[in-house]
Amino acid sequence: VEHDPQQRHAPFPLTDVQHAYWMGRKNLAELGNVATHFYFELDCPQVDLARFNQALRRLIDRHEMLRAIMTDDGLQQILPSVPAFDIVLHDVSGESEAGAEKRVVQLRERMSHEVRPANQWPLFDVQASAMPNGHTRLHLSLDMLILDGWSMFLMFSEWFQLYRSPALSLPALQLSYRDYVIAERKLLEGAAYQRPRAYWMKRIDTLPPAPYLPIVTHA
């Protein structure tokens, strides 16, 4: 993997998994038009929302894929800069417990099923609800086009560190995700990939078909 900072903002290919996610969010198949998406909520008895927001802004500056978009021609691009992200606060503290919960459910239904435009930043959202009991409910929506499970939990870990210690200086990152994807693409051109690919392409016509599985289709 070679670090190429001069090209870090140039468009680059999607990985196979990202490409599948990108195609699946389009309305090209009956079961499409769905984002590969992670949504969850945290109920916080005490949280300094301004400090929490500032920690998130530092993460966006630090991790390039939090500034990434997918282009209309099926590439991805890390934006050099983005607007300052602001966590939207919904104040339902003056409502009854049932009224507040109804508002939270409405927000949950919207955020947990959204398909954000892949060609627009951000491909994530963080909002908050001020609850009647004095707690703050955090609503986090993450598109897996820009994160996987491992990087998501790394992000949460660093987010907590920066919230707990605002003056903390994290180690500088030495590689870009773009560097990794370009290196992976080069591997596909070598014999270590082409040889087994040729073997399986010769056998493809003799392989059994995929199993038939019942599926629930859209109404």
Q: What is the pLDDT of residues 101-158, one digit of tens each?
A: 999 999 999 999 899 999 999 999 999 999 999 999 999 999 999 999 999 999 999 9
Residue 159, pLDDT score? 97
Dihedral (C-alpha) 124, 129, 135, 141: value to the nearest 10 degrees?
Answer: -20
Rg value, the chain, Cα: 21
How many percent of the chain have pLDDT more than 90? 88
Taking CA atoms, 64 is separated from 9, 141, 143, 145, 211, in Å, by: 9, 18, 15, 13, 40
Q: What is the pLDDT of residues 61-114, one digit of tens each?
A: 999 999 999 999 999 999 999 999 999 999 999 999 999 999 999 999 999 989
Residue 63, pLDDT score? 97
Model confidence at 218, in pLDDT bands (50, 70, 90)?
low
Q: What mean pLDDT, rounded, does the chain reach?
A: 94
Taking CA atoms, 81 is separated from 50, 75, 77, 121, 131, in Å, by: 21, 18, 12, 10, 34
SS (H, E, C) the chain: CCCCHHHCCCCEECCHHHHHHHHHCCCCCCCCCCCCEEEEEEEECCCCHHHHHHHHHHHHHHCHHHHEEECCCCEEEECCCCCCCCCEEEECCCCCHHHHHHHHHHHHHHHHCCCCCCCCCCCEEEEEEECCCCCEEEEEEEECCCCCHHHHHHHHHHHHHHHHCCCCCCCCCCCCHHHHHHHHHHHCCCHHHHHHHHHHHHHHHHCCCCCCCCCCCCC
- For residue 122, whether the previous peptide bond is cis, meaning omega lies within 30 degrees of 0, is yes
pTM of the complete model? 0.89
Residue 219, pLDDT score? 55
